[in-house]
Structure 1
Amino acid sequence: MIEAIIFDFGDIFINLDKPATFEGLKKLGLSEWNDDLDYLNHQFEMGKISKDDFLSGIQKHCPNATTEEILKTWNAILLDFPLYRLEFLQMLTQKYRLFLLSNTDAIHIEKFQKKTGETFYTDFYRCFEHVYFSYEIGMRKPNVDIYEYVLNNHSLVAEKTLFVDDKQENTDAAKTIGLNVWNLQVGEEDVVELFEKMIIK
């Protein structure tokens, strides 16, 4: 019997346009997304470097772009957050312990909050017993330690906990420590179909 649900954020609740940022950076002069940028992104997502260091790191690959242009392009990934998903989440709070676990960075969260407004994002965060952003806790999925961290912090039993994420590598890792998982297929499934897709009581 499922007692708790851990949700990802991007493409689970807020819609994302993942190619938008890369396409935008290409227009700013980036030739390709490489290992250096991947490392830079992971460091920023784990809060290991500052916003300014992150933006200047990208600027080295787009020397003719301003930091303002890079910032705008970095946030191009963020689309809308449909109200019906928030309403579904609010309904779930009556029956389950809910947690948010997201690989994200300070820039994206600041933009999300500004875009949706204080009332909306407060109502959203209030649905969760705890909100975990990778840049605040210094860990990121799919490393197993991040799942164990959440489970241990709240005395959750893996076999009684469901983890919902759109990335296969993340759900595969969660499965190795006994978590129930739903690898949501973006564009084909919606989080509000939880009860149709997952047999949970």
Structure 2
Amino acid sequence: MIDTIIFDFGDIFINLDKQATISKLQQLGMTEWSSELDRLNLLFETGDISPEEFIGGFQKELPNASKEEILEAWNAILADFPLYRLEFLQMLSNRYRLFLLSNTDSIHIETFENKSGISFYSDFYQCFEKVYFSFEIGMRKPNADVFQYLINKHELSPKRTLFIDDKKENTDGAASLGFNVWNLQVGQEDVVDLFEKNIL
């Protein structure tokens, strides 16, 4: 019997428009998403570089782009967060232990909070026993250490815990440690369909 649910954030609760960021970066002169941009993103997601270092790294790749233009392009990925998902989460929080575990960076979280407002994001965060962002804890999915960290810190039983994420590599990582998983298919499924999946 499942008593705990760990959720991803992007494309589970907040909708993402990944193409919007790619398109805006292309407008700023990016020809391809290079290994250097990938490296910068991973370092930023684990809090190993500052926002200034991250933007500076992008400016080296896109020398004609201003800091403001890069920030705008980077944040273009963040779309809407439908209220019905928050209401569903609030209902779940009365019945299960809930955690948020997101690979994300400080710029995206600050932008989400500014766009949604303190009332909304406070209501969202309060649904969880604990919120974990990769840039704050220095670990990211799908690495086993981040899942083990939650198991140890909160005395979780993987066989009684469900992990929900839209990336298969992340759900595979959790499944390898014994978690129940739902690899949600974006555009075809919605987190509010949870009870129809017969996994709880």
Q: TM-score normalised by the shorter chain: which range applies? A: over 0.9
Q: Is 1:116 the equivalent of 2:116?
A: yes
The 5 A counterparts of 1:123-142 are 123-142=123-142
Counterpart of 1:4 in structure 2 is 4
The alignment's TM-score, normalised by the length of structure 2, stands at 0.99
* Pairwise CA RMSD: 0.6
Equivalent residues of 1:151, 1:158 under 8 A apart = yes
1:31 CA drift (Å): 1.3
Counterpart of 1:79 in structure 2 is 79
1:20 CA drift (Å): 1.1
Q: What SS does structure 1 have at the residue aligned with 2:193?
A: helix
Q: What SS does structure 2 have at the residue aligned with 1:131?
A: strand
The alignment's TM-score, normalised by the length of structure 1, stands at 0.98
1:151 CA drift (Å): 1.2
Q: Is 1:21 the equivalent of 2:6?
A: no
**Where does the alignment leave 5 or more consecutive residues of structure 2 unmatched?**
none
CA distance in 1, matches of 2:176, 2:199: 20
CA distance in 1, matches of 2:84, 2:63: 42
CA distance in 1, matches of 2:21, 2:134: 20
The 5 A counterparts of 1:60-79 are 60-79=60-79
Q: Deviations over 1:137-170 (max 9, x none)?
A: 0000111111111111100000000000000000
Equivalent residues of 1:105, 1:133 under 8 A apart = yes
The amino acid across from 1:182 in the alignment is: W
**Where does the alignment leave 5 or more consecutive residues of structure 1 unmatched?**
none
Q: Deviations over 1:46-79 (max 9, x none)?
A: 0000000000101111100000000010000000
Q: Deviations over 1:102-135 (max 9, x none)?
A: 0000000000000000000000000000000000
Structure 1 stretches of 4+ moved >4 Å: none
Q: Is 1:52 the equivalent of 2:63?
A: no
1:22 CA drift (Å): 1.2
CA distance in 2, matches of 1:40, 1:116: 27
Counterpart of 1:156 in structure 2 is 156
Counterpart of 1:190 in structure 2 is 190
1:34 CA drift (Å): 1.1
Q: What SS does structure 2 have at the residue aligned with 1:29?
A: coil
Count of aligned positions:
200
Equivalent residues of 1:182, 1:198 under 8 A apart = no
CA distance in 1, matches of 2:35, 2:62: 15
Q: What SS does structure 2 have at the residue aligned with 1:5?
A: strand
